[in-house]
Structure 1
Amino acid sequence: MGAFEIRGGKPLKGEIIPQGAKNEALQVISAVLLTAEKITISNIPDIVDVNKLIELLRDMGVTIDKIAADTYTFEAKNIDLEFFHSAAFKSKGGSLRGSIMIVGPLLARFGKAAIPKPGGDKIGRRRLDTHFLGFEKLGARFDYNPENGFFNVDASNLQGTYILLDEASVTGTANVVMAAVLAKGTTTIYNAACEPYLQQLCKMLIRMGAKITGVGSNLLTIEGVTELGGTTHRLLPDMIEIGSFIGLAAMTASEITIKDVHYDELGMIPDVFKRLGIKLERRGDDIFVPAQKHYEIETFIDGSIMTIADAPWPGFTPDLLSIVLVVATQAKGSVLIHQKMFESRLFFVDKLIDMGAQIILCDPHRATVIGLDKQMSLRGIQMTSPDIRAGVSLLIAALSAQGTSTIYNIEQIERGYQHIDQRLIALGADIKRL
């Protein structure tokens, strides 16, 4: 198990470029299975989860060439359908939650799929029902075998239909869309997720020949086609990294410029950080965060305590609530963090309390943070990263803390953040890999 040793309390300075979006990558890389023609994807992040998916596709028979540091070509001409019953597939597919994204394309093109129960973060119950209920509406039949841990799906005759999703799941919507693009007839998906990464997937599919309308709304209409072709696609920058770097600048009183952020695709992310009192400035397509010795949390108009909660897009993404919580520990004022979607994602606050933060964990979904206004620094401790987002939040806390911190299980962080230690060292951080 790897670890980072961090000597905190140092202001950082410089420019940083966000990686390509992890969540988009898992969707669009899976979409290459929809065609036998070549697809080129650029701005792919070099992170564990994405690399595992690429390796899984290669094992399935996809011809993959790396033509630049962040650019790959994919050609899914000869897929080995027998591989899906192998021990290797169970091992590799089961270790990656993103492996669920290959089911929709496989059903659409080959009429069947098998997938081991996916892995990923241990942040609470994450339902797969939306995916499979959508497949069932399209005419698929599936069963779960508890003995071998496999979902087996048969979809030899997918038919377009009306689907009302039980939740606006991003991955669920993406999976059903990919299944529907080759189904017979018209599919209407209501309560569809509409975040930028899902829009990116739809735009890519349209360039491949799919017929999709309503992109960017919660009502998608898909007219099935008989086949799709190749295309080129570039990933958006990762909005979670962008938010993480805004929080990092505030916590460490650093002057940081975040480059090429696609500002118009960030939704309310900049505004939520502004509610915490963080000054940030849009400069073209960059975000400039000046060094701030203090930042003060706003209150509501009636003077009541600020509440920041996650919600489906265009609401605030749950992946940044851990960052917001950490940033609030050094703000002036108080805030209630309400994590609605995952019941275990706030449990990392015990590490922050050990570091000196004033946090009341109200229940598994809510925490009240009483900001220290940088009157008292956090202190370095030893801790373990429980998941990707909490891990980076603890890393930010450690960079702001006085003394030395050690973070174990950094493999969790590196599932979602590309070469994070090297990139932060370039800004002046004191990080050593153990």
Structure 2
Amino acid sequence: MADDYLARIGKLIRDARKHRGWTQTELGAALGTSQSAVNRIENGGQNISLEMIARISEALDSEIVSLGYSGPMHLRVVGGRRLSGSIDVKTSKNACVALLCASLLTTGRTTLRRVARIEEVYRLLEVLNSIGVKTRWINDGADLEITPPAELNLAAMDQEAARRTRSVLMFLGPLMHRVDQFKLPYAGGCDLGTRTVEPHMAALRRFGLEVTATTGVYHAEVDRSVSPERPIVLTERGDTVTENALLAAARHDGVSVIRNASPNYMVQDLCFFLEKLGVRIEGIGTTTLTVHGLAEIGCDVDYAPSEDPVEAMSLLAAAVVTGSELTVRRAPVEFLEIELAVLEEMGLDYDRSPEYHADNGRTRLVDLTVRPSKLRSPIDKIHPMPFPGINIDNVPFFAAIAATAQGSTLIHDWVYDNRAIYLTELTRLGAKVQLMDPHRVLVEGPTRWRAAEMMCPPALRPAVVVLLAMLASEGTSVLRNVYVINRGYEDLADRLNSVGAKIETFRDI
């Protein structure tokens, strides 16, 4: 087998392993071989038989690595086309996964409206189903009904599905109210570098949850005599950390004060949902939340999560990089105001409609119409800040936008260890992206985009950024192994096609 093919196969295996959340040692154990052998395979330094490829495919899930039709999904993009018309923003991925975890708080039935049909949701549903929760899609698949059992069968948890989503961490808060001891596998998700779970543990420890980590597993034990005697100060103003603290506080019989809380969009949606369960929360939208918990929750709940501001930013970026006039409808403007202010400074020509409410009755939406604009680089660097600053997940889209602008733009993604590195993939499409360090890139525009064939980065937002750049690139590009995009976006290719893109989904035969 040629060295080039060995390297390409090795990279595919490495990306699939990371998607699975496994170390090289864990994959070696599943294959009955050593970590060093896996390392040689992933670096293209070892001949590999078809039998071994098949065994690796089975271990890592055929959706990621496989032989034949059921193998990885790819996208073929004919770029250089203008988009036009209007496109609706889907409901929030991050809100939906939090609400799926929160459904474990009540013994009643939960109905969630217009749930995002994405891989991240499917993985959590597999986990919920495996422990005895009944779920079914209703109203022609638009809505989701969730019915918990009287007792959860945690011993039967689908370990593979749980390892493939970091959202399983948010089971800690609800499960501590259902059982005294339980186990969770290590969380997976995007490859964004090392992210400690200690802030979660520090917050939940105040409610009596102690977690011990062994190889691949969190062992959780609840001491019900422990109760927070003073405000809980989160050491990280993280979204999932705040959500876990809220989930713990919701069933704590008393008043819990959470400080340095994230007021971001998915946290607000979770708060609105908890209020429907009867939990009173003061300070929604601020960094201090006062939660009046309930010892028991048994009511049915019907809730409609709001739209996704990160998807809205994706669609705005698609219009900008392709020089198109496009209307993005149902954009949650209160979580995009800083991004829009920066784009205005860069020279974006756009209109916004009057505000109206999302189906949850609380979140403010607008329709945004973007027109072709001559952009210039912003005066200051682009960097994320907790809400109401630029959203952490919106920062990568500014790399593609900056590449269309005149001048140099410094993008500082200080939150994640290596996500900025993936933005250098844009150079393969003609962009000038200089890596300053693992957190900072310098983007020089404007760009004469060119088509290319490349592997999908293993992190969601950079992967979509590459896809958007392909839309702007004259010629035909191929983006291989796009599972990570399907984790966070519902039918993105088809929806972009509906406004003028030309994207074909295919698999290797």
Tell me if TM exceeds 0.5: yes
Report the counterpart of residue 303 of structure 1 in structure 2. none
Percentage of identical aligned residues = 28
For residues 371-397 of structure 1, give each alpha carbon's deviation from its aligned partner in whole angstroms, at most 9, with x where no partner exists.
11xxx5211111112211011100010
Structure 2: how far apart are the matches of 1:118 and 1:64?
22
AA paired with 1:357? A
Report the counterpart of residue 429 of structure 2 in structure 1. 355
Please tell me whether the aligned partners of residues 131 and 155 of structure 2 are also in contact (alpha carbons under 8 angstroms).
no
Determine whether 1:240 maps to 2:310.
yes
Structure 2: how far apart are the matches of 1:236 and 1:154?
34
Report the counterpart of residue 46 of structure 1 in structure 2. 117
How far is 1:326 from its partner?
1.1
AA paired with 2:483? E
Report the counterpart of residue 238 of structure 2 in structure 1. 169
Match of residue 329, structure 1, among 394, 403, 413: 403
How far is 1:156 from its partner?
4.4
RCO (CA 8 Å, sep 6+): is it higher in 1 or 2? 1
Please tell me whether the aligned partners of residues 335 and 388 of structure 2 are also in contact (alpha carbons under 8 angstroms).
no
Determine whether 1:414 maps to 2:486.
yes
AA paired with 1:271? A
Structure 1: how far apart are the matches of 2:255 and 2:302?
26
AA paired with 1:57? L
Shift in alpha-carbon separation, 1:427–1:152, aligned structure 2, 3 A: same
Determine whether 1:26 maps to 2:129.
no
Report the counterpart of residue 296 of structure 1 in structure 2. 376
- RMSD of aligned Cα (Å): 1.5
Report the counterpart of residue 339 of structure 2 in structure 1. 269
AA paired with 1:89? D
AA paired with 1:155? V
**What secondary structure, in the 3-state scheme, does the structure 1 residue paired with 2:256 have?**
strand
Report the counterpart of residue 80 of structure 1 in structure 2. 152
AA paired with 2:235? D
Structure 2: how far apart are the matches of 1:140 and 1:80?
18
Match of residue 338, structure 1, among 402, 412, 429: 412
Counterparts of 1:9-408 in structure 2, within 5 Å, are 9-68=80-139, 69-81=141-153, 84-86=154-156, 89-146=158-215, 149-157=216-224, 158-161=226-229, 162-228=231-297, 229-284=299-354, 285-292=366-373, 294-299=374-379, 306-372=380-446, 376-386=447-457, 387-408=459-480
AA paired with 1:397? A
How far is 1:265 from its partner?
4.1
**What secondary structure, in the 3-state scheme, does the structure 1 residue paired with 2:406 have?**
coil
Structure 2: how far apart are the matches of 1:138 and 1:405?
51
**What secondary structure, in the 3-state scheme, does the structure 1 residue paired with 2:419 have?**
coil
How far is 1:322 from its partner?
1.1
Q: Which runs of 5+ in 2 are unaligned?
A: 1-71, 355-365
Please tell me whether the aligned partners of residues 173 and 193 of structure 1 are also in contact (alpha carbons under 8 angstroms).
yes
**What secondary structure, in the 3-state scheme, does the structure 2 residue paired with 1:64 have?**
strand
For residues 147-193 of structure 1, give each alpha carbon's deviation from its aligned partner in whole angstroms, at most 9, with x where no partner exists.
xx110111241523421111101101101111112123322111111
Deviates further, 351-360 or 321-330: 351-360
AA paired with 2:375? Y
AA paired with 2:291? I
AA paired with 1:297? S
Structure 1: how far apart are the matches of 2:135 and 2:129?
7
Higher share of residues assigned helix? 2
Report the counterpart of residue 302 of structure 1 in structure 2. none
Please tell me whether the aligned partners of residues 429 and 452 of structure 2 are also in contact (alpha carbons under 8 angstroms).
yes
How far is 1:365 from its partner?
0.5
Deviates further, 92-101 or 343-352: 343-352
Shift in alpha-carbon separation, 1:75–1:194, aligned structure 2, 3 A: same
**What secondary structure, in the 3-state scheme, does the structure 1 residue paired with 2:136 have?**
strand
AA paired with 2:120? D
